[in-house]
Structure 1
Amino acid sequence: MNEMSWPPQLPQPPVPPPMPVAFSGKRKEFFHLVARGAGLELITLGFYRFWLTTDIRRHLWSNTQIGGDAPEYTGRGKELLIGFLVAIAILVPIYLGYFLIGIEAEHLKAFASLPLVAFFYMFGQFAIYRARRYRLTRTVWRGVRFWMSGSGWIYSLKASLWGLLVVVTLGLALPWREAALERYKMRHSYYGDLQGSFEGRGWEFFKRGWWLWLLTPLALYSTIFIPFVYAGFKAIEWRWWLSGIRFGEVRLESTMRRSALIGLYWKVIGWAVLLGTVFAAYVALCTVLVASIDGSSIEDFFKTDAFAKSIPLLVLLGIGYLAFALAMNVVMRIYLMRDFWVRVLSTTIVHNLEAAASVSARGELANALGEGFADGLDVGGF
């Protein structure tokens, strides 16, 4: 009997461990960034927000460490401003036509305005897709750009049809809508020549958060439950979404707990109550001060409607309201942008990151018109 010789077994290369995503930015630096930006927004009547948005993205992108390297955001505030102005030039005539037709529709007791409402919804979905394309093409990691193909109008049609189904099913179809739209977006997303995909399924989303659909009527009845329900929904959604993202063999995983975001929303509510109380006290103080200067008692000041015609009071109230609004913007940007970002990243793990080591650069830059439309329609995402 002949001995059979087998080739020696080569040792298998060790599987690299998953890489956690880290954030290195300082909270104090971000606070100074948004506080200064809020002041400049006040001085420039809001136009500085395009540069502030750019600075915020650069701060968050550049402090996000993936495999020891941080992505770079290459967008510019000027691009966002030009995109917004072009979008407004297109949207204003549409808004005007919608307003005039809406008046006539009310006069005729008809539903002629419903097609316009549907058009604006579809247009908003188109803007969301194009804005994502802009942000993706302005993101570079290890010298290679992300980019995106696909049609914003096809996405808009898909989103609208799925949105109609969500309305008909009283929200039960929402997980399947999100899964279908994410599959379309990720199928047309690339890192260099590495194509993206989305493996999340609607049933997985629903199975993780089915109890939220049962609690929603309770939250609508008693608003005290809204922060718990909404924060739980967002945590489940983010974990499901991140765990479904793929770029070739690279995949993400999230370990976010359902309660991870509740504290952030309650902190924003707490600050809103505190700042609202301060603003109310400021209004009362301004009213007493103006009434005393006018030589009237508080009761006479309101009985004679002098308060509505008092220019000094209106100016003081306007200044106070702007200060309140800017302070709330700072609070929301700290908790619902920076802290939210950090909590998401702290629970994110990247598997098979080495599969992205030999990617070739591809893709072209997209213009900022999509961001402009999203801003003008108030549907912009971060």
Structure 2
Amino acid sequence: LWGAITSEPRGPMDVVTQLGATYVTGLAVLPLIFFAQYRARRYMLSRTRWRGLRFAMDAAAVGYAWRALLYFGLSIVTLGLLTPLATFRLEKYMTDRMWYGDAGFEQEGQWSELYPAMKHQFIAVGVLLLGGAIIYFGQAVGLGGTVMFAGYLWLLFGFVYYQVESFKYLTARKVLDGKVRFTSNASSGRVIGIFVLGAILIAILAFVLSMVFGALFGILAASSGGFGMNGDGDGMGIFEGVGVLVVLIAVLGYLTSLVLIGALVTVFISAPILGHYVDTLRVENAGPLEQIRQRAGDQLADADGFADALDVGGAF
């Protein structure tokens, strides 16, 4: 079995075995991802203060993980139709365990009211089906392919639209201490604009960086005798003289590019989108905030390392 998983597929059964192993591995990682999602919010809240009062969150990552697995499975089985249920119930689970000072949050609303936020996804699926029908029944591959490409783009827009609109709905129905409410005026168009502009800038900078490293690599490779044979015909010219430096620069350039691109994503995409959400968030009926008092700080030393990041105690 191990040989069938790790070797090149020799038949249909090997392909099925490798696909099964891949999906099993992915499913095994999912609980850790859901653990991390809950603990990440809890950790950030414990390090956040507003008006001098700290936020907090109950230790309940285990309950969140198995619920997330359940709702994630329901969404897959229903081909995404129960995605609003998963979104609402998981957000409610976390919100109902959040605190600001000695006041608790509560998530109100109904999961079915998130369906309007999925309208563009439904339209996109219809466009994709239309494109498939044009190819299958009309034998018009070019036209059908164009329609399906438009459907994929529409589906991506629909995904962003759902994220923004569901955030706005859930935010408007969060209540703090039974009195304080919130509203969000975030725009899906603005979020998409930030993402597209950021992706273009990152692509340009990545291209310039690759050209610089490529030119430097070429110069050093040429000065070390190139990639061909050396004078003795042993084929080691690239590793003589400054050849080792060429390889070292190539490796460092690759690692630097990974780190730099990650930083650029934060600067040009993640941070501006987060800033847009923050700038469009408003507090309604803020008067009762004056009555909220500080609460004892939570001990979250275990959140500083992945081995202790789960609410199950101990380390691996």
CA distance in 1, matches of 2:3, 2:303: 31
Q: What percentage of aligned pairs have identical amino acids?
A: 23
Q: Name the structure 1 match of 2:116.
A: 207
**Corresponding residue for 1:313?**
246
Q: What residue number does 1:275 align with?
A: 205
1:261 aligned counterpart, secondary structure: helix
Equivalents in 2 of 1:127, 1:277: separation in Å?
34
Aligned to 2:268: 335
Structure-to-structure mapping, 1:42-57, within 5 angstroms = none
Aligned partners of 2:171, 2:204: CA distance in 1, in Å? 35
Aligned residue runs from structure 1 range 53-72, under 5 A:
none
- Bigger relative CO (Cα 8 Å, ≥ 6 apart): 1
1:175 & 1:200 partners in 2: Cα distance? 12
Q: What is the TM-score with the length of structure 2 in the denominator?
A: 0.72
Matched, 1:246 2:175: yes
Give the superposition deviation at 1:287: 4.0
Distance 2:204 2:4 in 1: 44
User: CA separation in 1, counterparts of 2:285 and 2:69?
Assistant: 36
Contact 2:224/2:238 (8 A) holds in 1: no
Rounded to whole Å, the distance in 2 between the matches of 1:374 and 1:167 is 30
| CA-CA distance at 1:373 after TM superposition | 3.0
Partner of 1:292: 222
Instruction: Tell me the residue number matched to 1:67.
Output: none
Number of residue-to-residue matches in the alignment: 273
Amino acid across the alignment from 2:258: A
CA contact (8 A) 1:124 1:373 kept: no
* Change over 3 Å in CA distance of 1:118–1:325 after alignment to 2: closer
> Is contact 2:117-2:166 (8 Å) kept?
no
Tell me if the contact between 2:35 and 2:61 (Cα under 8 Å) persists in the aligned partners. Answer: yes
Q: What corresponds to 1:123 in structure 2?
A: 32
Corresponding residue for residue 175 of structure 1: 84
CA deviation after TM superposition for structure 1 residue 165, in Å: 0.7
Aligned match of 2:187: 257
Q: Which runs of 5+ in 2 are unaligned?
A: 7-13, 129-146, 311-316
After TM superposition, give the deviation of residue 306 of structure 1 in Å. Answer: 6.5
2:284 equivalent to 1:351: yes
**Are residues 1:232 and 2:161 paired?**
yes
User: For the Cα contact (< 8 Å) 1:124–1:374, is it kept in 2?
Assistant: no
Matched with 2:96 is 187
Distance in 2, matches of 1:239 and 1:116, equals 34
Q: In structure 1, list runs of 5 or more residues that go unmatched.
A: 1-101, 378-382
CA RMSD of aligned residues (A): 3.7
Compared CA separation, residues 306 and 208, structure 1 to 2 (3 A): farther
Match of 1:373 among 306, 310, 313: 306
Q: Is the 8 A contact 2:225 2:238 kept in 1?
A: no
Cα deviation code 1:289-342 (max 9, x no counterpart): 13321334x7889xx696699432222222333443343233222233332222
Letter in 1 for 2:246: L
Partner of 2:64: 155
- State the TM-score, normalizing by the size of structure 1: 0.61
